[in-house]
Amino acid sequence: MNSLATQLPLAPLGAGDLIDRAVRLYRRHLFTLLAIATPPVLVTAAGTILGGIAWRQLFSTGSERALALYVVLGLAGLLLIIGGHLFSMIVMGGTARNLVTHLLWDEPVTMRATYAAVRARFWGLLAATLIVIAWVAISLVVALFGWYSVGIMVMTGAFLLALISPWLAAVCGILGSIVTVAGTLWLFFFMAGRIVYVPQVMLVEGKRVFESVSRSFALARGNVRRLMAMTLFIIFATYSALMILIVPLGWYAYLNGINPSPFSADPWPAWYTIGYSVLEPLSSILLTPVWILGLSLLYVDERVRHEGYDIELLASRHLGELPQLGIESPLGTALSVDPGAHILPSSRSTGSIFKLT
């Protein structure tokens, strides 16, 4: 289908358009994307199950040997959870590469192509992922410090206003709290958004780790609102799916005499602990592809906005492979040809390069 409704517009996309196109791509390649997202989430799920069992039994066992076993299981579960999340972020880079080849040559989105790109640059992607995590952690600390500082001033101002008018103090306190939370979110996404394109840059443009970091900083201009909207949408959708899955399990447990509250002092049976631990990774399997597609589309959109990437894609599509000039866009190639990072498509179909659905 080559109608305008199924093509990626050459104009820059807003937050709603990015989310819409990510969902449309997700619907078109549903089972392939679920297969791509499943291996990292299965690792996380295994860690969650081990950690859940160890945590529930840690304080109820009376045997020192069993206590040592549960401690080991808990540590193993923690390592698996961390490794699963790292693996999931690494897979984002391979998915971005596969997505751009889909936009460029209408190549199919496949699990094989995604993981081939991941294997070729695995260690570089791992190093880049650790840098991204460290930067996001710093961004979170800075944002929380700003929230705390401004919050203290808002509370102090509301207290002083209460001496004059309690109603005025309440209104100013509520408005000040809303502004403080909004400012904290903006500050966090402003800092964290500087580095979200590192995996995509590595796989699409073939750059090294630190070059990809500086490149991501250069691309991330004016992406705060779109990144914030997409992140909040994914969080809301993920936890909505989680609640849909947890509520039936909780009712079933309650009817069988089990207190489903996570704050219950009574230990859960093993079957409920495992079921509860599996549901969160299951919701992640369903929604992680939307997040990966959203970031990949956001990366492409940034290059369209700042570098005329759509012109590069059109030129590469109609003129064939451009020479590797070793210079930046828009005179460089639309997709790097790194023998160590990617196997070139064996054939190029004649479909629309911007087809999304």
Confidence at 333, pLDDT banded by 50, 70, 90: low
Min mean pLDDT across 104-113, 199-208, 339-348 is at 339-348
**7 - beta bridge partners?**
355
Instruction: Kindly report the pTM of this predicted structure.
Output: 0.73
Judged against a pLDDT cut of 50, whether residue 312 lies above it is answered with yes
CB atoms within 10 A of CB 340: 8
Q: What secondary structure does DSSP assign to 185-217, as a single string?
A: HHHHHHHHGGGTTHHHIIIII---HHHHHHHHH
CA torsion sign for 162, 167, 170, 171 is negative
Judged against a pLDDT cut of 90, whether residue 316 lies above it is answered with no
Phi, psi of 60 (to 5 degrees): -115, -10
pLDDT for the residue numbered 141? 94
Q: State what percent of residues in the chain have pLDDT above 90.
A: 6
**355 - beta bridge partners?**
7
pLDDT for the residue numbered 8? 45
pLDDT for the residue numbered 93? 73
Q: Which residue has the tokens 């990437």?
A: 309
pLDDT for the residue numbered 140? 93
Residue (of 330, 328, 306) closest to 316 by Cα position: 330
Judged against a pLDDT cut of 70, whether residue 42 lies above it is answered with yes
